[in-house]
Structure 1
Amino acid sequence: MYIFRWNLKKISLWALLLSQVCLLLIFFYVQLIPSEQESNGRISFLRSSEDTEEVRNTYHTLDSNIILKTVKTRQSYVDFNSSLCFINGTDLSSMKYAKGINWRCQCLPGWHGNDCGQPEVLWRALLTSRKPFKIRGPRTFERRLIYIFKVDKFSEFVTDIRIYELGAIVDLFILYEDDTSDYLRQKLDNNFCKEHQNKILYLKDDGETVWKKVRWYLKNLRNDDIILSSSANEIPNKDALIFLKFHDHWPQPIKFRFRWSVFGFFWIHPFRTITGGGACTMSFLKESFSNKLKLLTDNKTLSSPLYKGLTLGDLNHYGGWFCEYCNDPAQVVEFIASKPKNIIDWDKIEHGKIDKNYIEDLIENGLYIDGKSELKKSRRYQDNYFAPKYVIEHDWKYDFLMVNFYSKLDYYEG
């Protein structure tokens, strides 16, 4: 009886071991057999979960199925008694300290409104306009924001800044390049702005029909979604765009008065500002501009009596940054050479030639491209609008735009 029990136990152990071996063999056999779709001579690889995420995190083309997400605004606000306060614009520390007696939102410097949701640049624009706008908010759901602009090899650095500065609030970047160029596509294929490629739609276009091409591919556009467009050198104010996403009844169209930086954020053009870009809702673009995006960025638009628009920005509080010739000197020379000759007043240039040494001298001495107009100095630690927030927080990445390396004084100060 004892021997029988011992043999039964031994047999059971051997059977269990044999079954495990069989399961392992079956598993490896199934993994090695190619599927019908992969049996055409191509090699297939097993991907880990990290590899799968890597593949998914890529830019879109017109073949993509793009569906814009719907996000509640509530996550950007906090309740204090009966007050609903915008988190980014509210002094949360002081309000939490006096929570029992605090019935109104206490705004941080540069923020206004009952909910502390109006950034300085927008608040000042509303005061200046002296028009009875009845802006309401916050909305239940954010407006989706679509940003369209052209990219070429001369605007790479500003494009990088725009996408990283606005990546958290823009729902879709539509980037296009000339039909004859392949520069942007190659950059994207090499992980340009990798962290935000899932929000980038790439296409080639002449600029005239880009929106006409795209709007049919966006599956769930809403009339209250925002369309934003600007030139290659413009970086809109992030806080102002957040306000437009969260509120209703703001005047349309929106234009931007940009701070005019030259060669980097350390020099300002003597005119100091330049007006450009444009934003409006989808319904406004359709009803007022017949879906012609070019009319939105035409500076004559806001001056027309037909529209009760608003310009964001003044001489002290800017609607964003216009960074002209923000490249290394060699690229500035190449950029100018690629443009028509009438872009420069050659009579104002002493030797009649623009080369790398000429550009370096301009940067060092604070002179505009004509070699005559004096630029104004801007200092990082004294100017609240020196550069976009992302640039300041990542100065190692954009050091040549932050510090004038051709000036010994600036170099050692930086």
Structure 2
Amino acid sequence: MKMRRYKLFLMFCMAGLCLISFLHFFKTLSYVTFPRELASLSPNLVSSFFWNNAPVTPQSSPEPGSPDLLRTPLYSHSPLLQPLSPSKAAEELHRMNFVLPEDTTEYFVRTKAGGVCFKPGTKMLEKPPSGRPEEKAEAGEGSSARGPARHLLSTRERSGGRGGRRKWVECVCLPGWHGPSCGVPTVVQYSNLPTKERLVPREVPRRVINAININHEFDLLDVRFHELGDVVDAFVVCESNFTAYGEPRPLKFREMLTNGTFEYIRHKVLYVFLDHFPLGGRQDGWIADDYLRTFLTQDGVSRLRNLRPDDVFIIDDADEIPARDGVLFLKLYDGWTEPFAFHMRKSLYGFFWKQPGTLEVVSGCTVDMLQTVYGLDGIRLRRRQYYTMPNFRQYENRTGHILVQWSLGSPLHFAGWHCSWCFTPEGIYFKLVSAQNGDFPRWGDYEDKRDLNYIRSLIRTGGWFDGTQQEYPPANPSEHMYAPKYLLKNYDQFRYLLDNPYQEPKSTAAGGRRSKGPEGRPLARGKLDVVEG
């Protein structure tokens, strides 16, 4: 009997030693780079062992004794992006963490008169305007000897409650900026935000995380990086080795990150690699479409360090580009509600085919709301009403904030751009064959729709794949919010997005010349004749 007990005891000890050895074996593997041949056998196995899902680290408090200035972002390089050897760069990219930097750039200035002014939105005056007394920046005798003072503030007198006079300090705003501090852009001033009177500048700015899934929208991604590069603190970009239809595809964006194509913004990019296709995604394309955003959010946020609950999270499609001023407002102000959407200018095939109305998609909230209400699921943020989520009331009670959805911009004031199917004919062909199997009819299944000449005719006329010819309003290249500024500054490089490449006005066809505006782009034109051929 004793011998049997000893044998059982020894068997348990041996099993325990085997288990410990097994665990140490895989711990050792976590420090060794798998050969590509082994990694390709089971990407799910590799990802489960190598992808770091540790919780975010707490933020260090700001240093005391800082000058009397409100701080906003310093775009320093993250420890994430220390140089890697070329052989390790491609292997390590999807496992690296990203440390969000603290923001220290001075966007606001606090004056001795007690005002707080947003520097880019405040008019710098050399002398007080006529009929309005000014609060001098520096009082006292002899100030005039130092030259004309530059004034940020104006003071107005208003009647007090007991017949007295009360001075009210305000900043002098430049066109396009509003509010006492001149930091509220037009897209917020004319939005449906219900708490405009409660907006106040923050002492410490939020960090902004912009999450995107990428397929082959590399030109629009380049435009996004230039439009938002100085206000977004981390671009979380997800790429898969499968298309939304489930076919293999090359990791082109990872190649562009490592070969220096996006070197100017590399220090702000967190690369997410989706190495598998969801079960059932081929039969039901919406499964794959939803899973892309779920994986992007969960893997990306889990690898962000120094994240605060009140940081801003924005998830976009690759063809949706928010305007810089609206994103900067979210970063620098308290008092707005959540979740929020953007009214975006809609266009098809290029910015030259403007569509009626705006695209309004809920795409942002704080990190706290993303985790508590939406369960760290980006597709819920975009497609689910917050009041249908089980934890929204708990979030309201804990934070003391009443959740009210609102939208930056309006149908008359665009807060971004949505450029659908904005590619060359070859790019549209690739989009057709890559599209998910759920948004029917799936035009990529029809051979005649994939013909490049047919695609060129659609770009020329603005028609759709079902044969309809919609009447779009004439796009005016000189109109406000026609396209992101980076596109307009590089007109020749992105001409296929800004000027219809398959349509010419009568004056050009007859040998005339089209006038150009001050930035070298064509001036507004009326409805163009269709060129056959």
1:192 is matched with 261
What is the identity percentage for the equivalent residue pairs of Structure 1 and Structure 2?
Answer: 27
Deviations along 1:153-180, one digit per CA (max 9) or x if unpaired, are 1x11111111111111111111111243
Contact persistence 1:163–1:193 (CA under 8 A): no
Q: Is 1:114 aligned with 2:180?
A: yes
5 Å-filtered alignment, 1:301-380, equals 301=386, 307-339=403-435, 343=439, 353-372=449-468, 373-380=470-477
Paired letter, 2:93: T
Paired letter, 1:197: R
2:68 is matched with none
Q: Is 1:96 aligned with 2:116?
A: no
Residue 87 of structure 1, CA deviation: 2.0
Q: Is 1:284 aligned with 2:369?
A: yes
Q: Is 1:86 aligned with 2:118?
A: yes
Q: Distance in 2 between matches of 1:212 and 1:294?
A: 11
Residue 297 of structure 1, CA deviation: 1.5
Normalised to the residue count of structure 1, the TM-score between the two structures is 0.76
Paired letter, 1:117: G
Contact persistence 1:236–1:256 (CA under 8 A): yes
Paired letter, 2:202: R
Q: Distance in 1 between matches of 2:438 and 2:301?
A: 36
Q: Distance in 2 between matches of 1:283 and 1:345?
A: 38
Paired letter, 1:170: V
Residue 222 of structure 1, CA deviation: 0.7
Q: Distance in 2 between matches of 1:297 and 1:144?
A: 20
Residue 76 of structure 1, CA deviation: 4.4
Residue 134 of structure 1, CA deviation: 4.9
5 Å-filtered alignment, 1:11-410, equals 55=83, 61-72=93-104, 74-77=106-109, 79=111, 81-92=113-124, 95-98=125-128, 101=134, 102-103=153-154, 104-125=170-191, 128-129=192-193, 131-132=194-195, 134-153=197-216, 155-180=217-242, 181=249, 182-205=251-274, 207=292, 208-269=294-355, 271-298=356-383, 300-301=385-386, 307-339=403-435, 343=439, 353-372=449-468, 373-381=470-478, 383-409=479-505
Comparing 333-342 with 229-238, greater Cα deviation is found at 333-342
Contact persistence 2:195–2:336 (CA under 8 A): no
Secondary structure in 1 matching 2:264: helix
Paired letter, 1:359: I
1:11 is matched with none
Q: 1:406 to 1:184 in 2, by over 3 A?
A: same
Normalised to the residue count of structure 2, the TM-score between the two structures is 0.60
Paired letter, 1:327: F
Secondary structure in 2 matching 1:74: coil
Q: Distance in 1 between matches of 2:485 and 2:105?
A: 22
Contact persistence 1:264–1:323 (CA under 8 A): yes
Q: Distance in 2 between matches of 1:302 and 1:117?
A: 31
Contact persistence 1:74–1:140 (CA under 8 A): no
Paired letter, 2:474: K
Root-mean-square deviation over aligned CA pairs: 3.2
Structure 1 unaligned regions, length at least 5: 1-52
Structure 2 unaligned regions, length at least 5: 1-80, 135-152, 155-169, 243-248, 275-290, 394-402, 509-513, 516-521, 523-533
Comparing 77-86 with 113-122, greater Cα deviation is found at 77-86
Deviations along 1:323-374, one digit per CA (max 9) or x if unpaired, are 0111101221231233257746599xxx963422222222223334444222
Paired letter, 2:234: L
Paired letter, 2:409: G
Deviations along 1:139-163, one digit per CA (max 9) or x if unpaired, are 112101111110111x111111111
Residue 216 of structure 1, CA deviation: 3.2
Q: Distance in 2 between matches of 1:78 and 1:368?
A: 54
The count of aligned residue pairs is 352
Secondary structure in 2 matching 1:70: coil
Q: 1:266 to 1:133 in 2, by over 3 A?
A: same
Q: 1:80 to 1:371 in 2, by over 3 A?
A: farther
Comparing 398-407 with 180-189, greater Cα deviation is found at 180-189
Q: Distance in 1 between matches of 2:122 and 2:495?
A: 31
Residue 259 of structure 1, CA deviation: 0.8
Determine which structure has the larger helix proportion and give its number: 1
